[in-house]
Amino acid sequence: MIIAALALVGLFVAMYLWFFKLGLIGSLSCKIGGCEKVNTSPWAVFLGQPVAMWGVLYYVAMFATAFASTLERFADDRRAALALVVLAGWGVAFSGWLTYLELAVIHAVCMYCVISAIIVVIVFVLAVVEWRSTERP
């Protein structure tokens, strides 16, 4: 449940950055760090699409999986828990790469990216705990 709630928060953070890329919200509200510098850099694009758009899709997948795992019929299903571990693990790796780029290449930190990175780390820890607690068939 906590994972689904966190995924929803992450989804709105990613949507905010995506809306910025689409030009819907003017400039980013960013009191700490260089959000605009990060989000207008060449590294803000992945496979031809804004990283923020991938973030939206990622969090939608995470929310859907986490939500499904709260349903009674999936309560003891290890597959849902494993899917969350894999999703969150990918998120941690990707966020780690983006954080490296911010610190070492772009030399600016986007606080929304930091929030997203914190969310995926917490989700990863919770997902591993959840997975380990589910009974083996």
Partner 1 sequence: MATSKKRASQKQFTYVIAVIAIIGAGALGWMATRPKSGGTEIDPNLPVGTAEGFVLGKPDAPVQIIEFADFECPACAQFAMLTEPDIRARLIDKGLVSVKFYVFPLPMHKNTWSASNAAFCANEQGKFWEMHDRLFYTQDLWNTLATSNPDKKMKAYAEELGLDASKFNDCYDSQRHYPNIKASGIEAQNRLIDETPSFIIGGKRYPGSLPYDEIKKLVDAELAKVGAADTTKKGAK
Query: Please, which residues have CB within 8 angstroms of residue 120's CB and are 6 or more apart in sequence?
Result: 10, 88, 91, 92, 95
Establish if 8 lies at the interface with partner 1 (CB under 8 A).
yes
Quick note: the x/- pattern for partner 1 over 69-108, rule CB under 8 A, is -x-x------------------------------------
Asked if 131 and 82 count as a contact pair (C-beta separation under 8 A), the reply is yes
The CA angle 33-35-36, to the nearest 5 degrees, is 130
Q: Total residues contacting partner 1 (rule CB under 8 A)? A: 24
Among 11, 83, 84, 87, binds partner 1 (CB under 8 A): 11
Asked if 124 and 89 count as a contact pair (C-beta separation under 8 A), the reply is yes
Establish if 5 lies at the interface with partner 1 (CB under 8 A).
yes
Asked if 110 and 39 count as a contact pair (C-beta separation under 8 A), the reply is yes
Establish if 119 lies at the interface with partner 1 (CB under 8 A).
no
Q: Site residues (CB under 8 A) for partner 1?
A: 1, 4-5, 8-9, 11-12, 15-16, 19, 23-30, 34, 36-37, 67, 70, 72
